A and B are shown apart, each in its own frame.
Chain A
Amino acid sequence: NAGVTQTPKFQVLKTGQSMTLQCAQDMNHEYMSWYRQDPGMGLRLIHYSVGAGITDQGEVPNGYNVSRSTTEDFPLRLLSAAPSQTSVYFCASNSRTGRNEQYFGPGTRLTVT
C-alpha cells in the first residue's frame, strides 16, 4: 500500500493564480480531510469528506474548494491564490471504524508570492 499520496511536493504560485493539490489514498478509507499547517498555528482543518459525493467545511474553508467523486481521490482547489495561503498542506484519511486514526500524506509546501 502506498497509503496517502500527495502531489506536488512543492509549488510556487503568483497571487491570483489557481491550482489543484492532489490527494489519493489506496486504503479504501471513507473519510478524507485537508489541513493546513502554519508556524505557531498548528493543524487547521480546511475541508473534509465522509464519503464520495459528500463534503463539508472545516475551520478555515475560505479560498478553497473540494469535491469527492471517488473514494480514492480528494483534490483541493485554490481558486485565486493569496500570500495568506502560503502554508504546508496535508491530506489525511481514516476509516469509518478507525475514526480517530488518521493517516497523513507527506504534505505539499505552497508558496504564494
Chain B
Amino acid sequence: QKEVEQDPGPLSVPEGAIVSLNCTYSNSAFQYFMWYRQYSRKGPELLMYTYSSGNKEDGRFTAQVDKSSKYISLFIRDSQPSDSATYLCAMSDFAQGGSEKLVFGKGTKLTVNP
C-alpha cells in the first residue's frame, strides 16, 4: 500500500460548483498536511497547510483533516475557471530523524468549465 493515495481524476465541473478533493494515507505518524496547486507547466505552489486534525478555511478553500480515518479533504466553493489545475496533497512527520521529506499524492487534475 502506498503511503499516500490520491485519485488522479480527471475531474471536470461547471463553474460555481463545489469541488471535493481527497487523499487517504497509511502512516499514522503524519501530523502535517498540505495542499499544493500546480498549473500546467509550472511548479507546485502551497495552497493550504494544516496541523493535526480539524478544519482550516481560507477564502473559498477549506481543508479538513480526519486523523482517525486517515483522510484529508480540500473543498473549493464557487469554483472558477482559474481554479483549473492539478491539486497535490502532501504530508509529513518531522519525527523521522529530522529529515525534510514530504510525501506527495499523485495529484488530481481539475477542470472548471465556464
Distance of A50 Cα from B101 Cα, bound (Å)? 11
Q: Which residue of B lies closest to A96 (CB)?
A: B100
Interface: A100 (CB within 8 A)? yes
Total A-B residue contacts, Cβ distance less than 8 Å: 55
Chain B residues, CB < 8 A from A4 = 43
Q: Say whether A107 contacts B42, CB under 8 Å.
A: yes
For the complex, is A71 an interface residue (Cβ under 8 Å from B)? Answer: no
Contact mask for chain A residues 26-56; partner B; CB cutoff 8 A; 1 contact, 0 none: 0000010100000011111100101000001
Distance between A49 CB and nearest chain B CB, rounded to angstroms: 9
Chain B residues in 8 Å Cβ range of A44: 104
Q: Please, how many angstroms separate the alpha-carbon atoms of A40 and B94 in the complex?
A: 26
Q: How far is the CA of A105 from the CA of B32 in the complex (A)?
A: 22
Complex: chain A residue closest to B34, CB-CB: A100
Asked if A40 and B43 sit within 8 Å, CB to CB, the answer is no
Does A61 make an interface contact (CB < 8 A)?
no
Q: Is A90 an interface residue (CB 8 A)?
A: yes
B residues near A41, Cβ cutoff 8 Å: 106
Question: Quick check: is B69 within 8 A (CB to CB) of the other chain?
Answer: no
Q: Contacts A48-B101, A50-B98, A58-B101: A106 and B106 contacting too (C-beta < 8 A)?
A: no
Q: Are B101 and A45 interface neighbours, CB within 8 A?
A: yes
Known: A41-B106, A43-B88, A104-B45. A94 touches B100 (CB 8 A): yes
The answer to whether B100 touches A33 (Cβ under 8 A) is yes
- B17, CB-defined interface residue at 8 Å: no
Residues of A within 8 A of B90 (CB): 100
For B6, B8, B41, B43, the residue with the greatest tally of chain A CB atoms inside 10 Å of its CB is B43
Return 22 A-B CB contacts under 8 Å, by A number: A33-B100, A41-B106, A42-B106, A42-B107, A44-B104, A45-B101, A48-B101, A50-B98, A50-B100, A58-B101, A90-B43, A99-B94, A100-B32, A100-B102, A101-B49, A102-B46, A102-B102, A103-B46, A104-B44, A104-B45, A105-B43, A106-B42
- The 4 A-B residue pairs whose C-beta atoms are closest, nearest first, are A104-B43, A42-B106, A43-B104, A100-B32
